[in-house]
C-alpha cells in the first residue's frame, strides 16, 4: 500500500539535491512524494521541476505562487494526493523543520520497515481529537511521528 509524503519547500534551493531523492526512491517504491513549492522567490521551483522530470511516476509537484503558510500548503498537498491516488496514509514535513536531510531518509526507512508504527501512531493521534476528521483523518506530521518514535531511531540506528 502506498504512502503519500508531502514535502513543503520555501526558498530552499540550497538544500535540494538529486542524491537525496535518489536515496528516497531506492528505499521504497511504495512512496509517492508530493513536493510543494510554497511561494519561493529563489531558484527552488526550478530545482523541484528538475527533480520532477527525473521521477515523474512517483512524484508530483504543486506550485503555490504566493506564500500561503504551512497549513495551506499541507491542505493543497492532501487534496491533490486524495484526488490523484489511493493512499492509506499521508505524511507531511516542512523542509525548514529539519536540520539534516538524512533525517527524512531515516523517517522513510522507518515507514518502509515498520508500517505498523504509522497505524499505531495515527490511532493515538486520532483518539486525542474531539472531532472526526474526514479528508485529513489519515494525515500525520512526519516531524511529530519521528519525535514520538525517537527512542526507536536511537536504538535501531535508523
Q: Give pLDDT < 50 ranges for the chain.
A: 131, 155-158
Residue 144, pLDDT score = 66
Alpha carbon distance 114, 108 (integer Å): 10
Q: How confident is the model over 133-145, as pLDDT tens digits?
A: 555 556 666 666 6
Q: Residue for cell digits 537525496?
A: 20
Residue 94, pLDDT score = 83
Domain 3-156 has CATH 3.30.460: no
Residue 17, pLDDT score = 83
Alpha carbon distance 100, 116 (integer Å): 25
Residue 62 contacts residue 35 (beta carbons within 8 Å):
yes
Q: What are phi and psi of 42, to 5 degrees?
A: -100, -150
Residue 158, pLDDT score = 44
Residues facing 9 on adjacent strands: 37
Any alpha helices (H) in the chain, and if so which ranges? 18-27, 44-54, 70-84, 101-113, 115-127, 142-148, 150-156
Amino acid at each position: 500500500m502506498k504512502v503519500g509524503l508531502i514535502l513543503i519547500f520555501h526558498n530552499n534551493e540550497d538544500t535540494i539535491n538529486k542524491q537525496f531523492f535518489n536515496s528516497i526512491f531506492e528505499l521504497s517504491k511504495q512512496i509517492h512524494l508530493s513536493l510543494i513549492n510554497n511561494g519561493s522567490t529563489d531558484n527552488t521551483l526550478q530545482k523541484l521541476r528538475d527533480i520532477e522530470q527525473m521521477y515523474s511516476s512517483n512524484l508530483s509537484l504543486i506550485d503555490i505562487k504566493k506564500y500561503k503558510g504551512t497549513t495551506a500548503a499541507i491542505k493543497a498537498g492532501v487534496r491533490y494526493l486524495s484526488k490523484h491516488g489511493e493512499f492509506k496514509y499521508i505524511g507531511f514535513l516542512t523542509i525548514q523543520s529539519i536540520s539534516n536531510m538524512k533525517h527524512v531518509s531515516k523517517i522513510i526507512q522507518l515507514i518502509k520497515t515498520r508500517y505498523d508504527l504509522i497505524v499505531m501512531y495515527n490511532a493515538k493521534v486520532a483518539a486525542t481529537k474531539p472531532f472526526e476528521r474526514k479528508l485529513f483523518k489519515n494525515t500525520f506530521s512526519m516531524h511529530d511521528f519521528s519525535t514520538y518514535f525517537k527512542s526507536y531511531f536511537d536504538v535501531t540506528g535508523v
